[in-house]
Amino acid sequence: MKRRIIDIISAASVCAGLLVSWRLIIFIFQLPAYLLPSPISVTQAVIQRFPSLLVSLGITSMAAGGGWLASIVVGIIVAIVFAQSHWIRRMFYPYTLLLQTVPIVAIAPLILMWVGTGTFAVGVITFIICLPPVIANTTQGLISTDKNLVSLFLMHNSFGSGLLPELRYRLQLLWKLQLPSAMPALFVGIRISSGIAVIGAIVGELFAGSSRVGVGGLGYAITYANAQLQTDYLFALVFFASGLGFAFFFLASFLEWYFLHNWHESALSPEED
């Protein structure tokens, strides 16, 4: 409890220090508000334009959340297919890496051409950049199951031989051994992609703009505020975007803790033992 309080105090003082130096920099260099607005005017911008900020936040959350969720579902399915044979992995795994190294900024306009502008397109862009970490980590988790445990499942396999029994055996292995042992790796993938989901959505929105004039996600509003030289509002948007990214990361970490704290050691804090 005492440590908690000390933690909070130290975090708050760092925050206060940052705000003070922010104000000081403006004062010392005599910066105009369109270059660097003061903390107070940013706060005012947040208060005044709170409704539209919330709308933008909502739109971006939906696109980022949807793309992220889709990447988890599709990523797990692809990883399960990849885990079935090393031939499949050899043939298709390089393309996963390719997907990861493709500069999203370069293909974003293409995607918009294909699926149109708006929240859906932004979701697709988010999905694309979130997918590789989920696939890579989950595949790794699925195939690095303890060899002896796989032998154990094989030894006690009671399905007999043939195509259908083989399939049932694979499903049993997947369900009772591989998926549970891949959970920690899966959550690493989810956590990594949670960090980039919001970035992906905002990059998408920079291009996709909005389907209705004047209403769009944080990325759209950022381009708008930038064009209008509304730097205080721009700052407010950037803070909200970071906050959203943090919320995603926090959600991923919470889910990881929730599902794994019962058995996986890395989710246990040292005090708990």
Q: Write out the residues near other proteins by the rule CB under 8 A.
A: 146, 148-149, 151-158, 172, 176-177, 180, 183, 262-265
Q: Give min distance, CB of 31 to other proteins, in A.
A: 56
Q: Give min distance, CB of 159 to other proteins, in A.
A: 9
Start-to-end C-alpha separation, the chain: 18
Q: Give min distance, CB of 69 to other proteins, in A.
A: 24
What are the C-alpha distances in Å from 131 to residues 96, 199, 252? 8, 14, 15
* 101 versus 266: smaller Cβ distance to other proteins: 266
* 145 versus 193: smaller Cβ distance to other proteins: 145
Q: Give min distance, CB of 271 to other proteins, in A.
A: 15
* 265 versus 271: smaller Cβ distance to other proteins: 265
* 104 versus 173: smaller Cβ distance to other proteins: 173
Task: Please check whether residue 86 is in contact with residue 77, taking contact to mean a CB–CB distance below 8 angstroms.
Answer: no
Task: Please check whether residue 99 is in contact with residue 128, taking contact to mean a CB–CB distance below 8 angstroms.
Answer: yes
| Separation between Cα atoms, residue 108 and residue 117, nearest integer Å | 10
Q: Give min distance, CB of 268 to other proteins, in A.
A: 8
* 262 versus 269: smaller Cβ distance to other proteins: 262
**86-114 burial code (b ≥16 CB/10 A, e <16):** eeebeeeeeebeeeeeeebeeebeebbee
Structure tokens at 75: 């990523």
* 50 versus 263: smaller Cβ distance to other proteins: 263
Task: Please check whether residue 235 is in contact with residue 45, taking contact to mean a CB–CB distance below 8 angstroms.
Answer: yes
| Separation between Cα atoms, residue 85 and residue 105, nearest integer Å | 34
* 140 versus 223: smaller Cβ distance to other proteins: 140
Q: Give min distance, CB of 269 to other proteins, in A.
A: 14
Task: Please check whether residue 190 is in contact with residue 132, taking contact to mean a CB–CB distance below 8 angstroms.
Answer: no
| Separation between Cα atoms, residue 93 and residue 162, nearest integer Å | 29
Q: Give min distance, CB of 251 to other proteins, in A.
A: 22
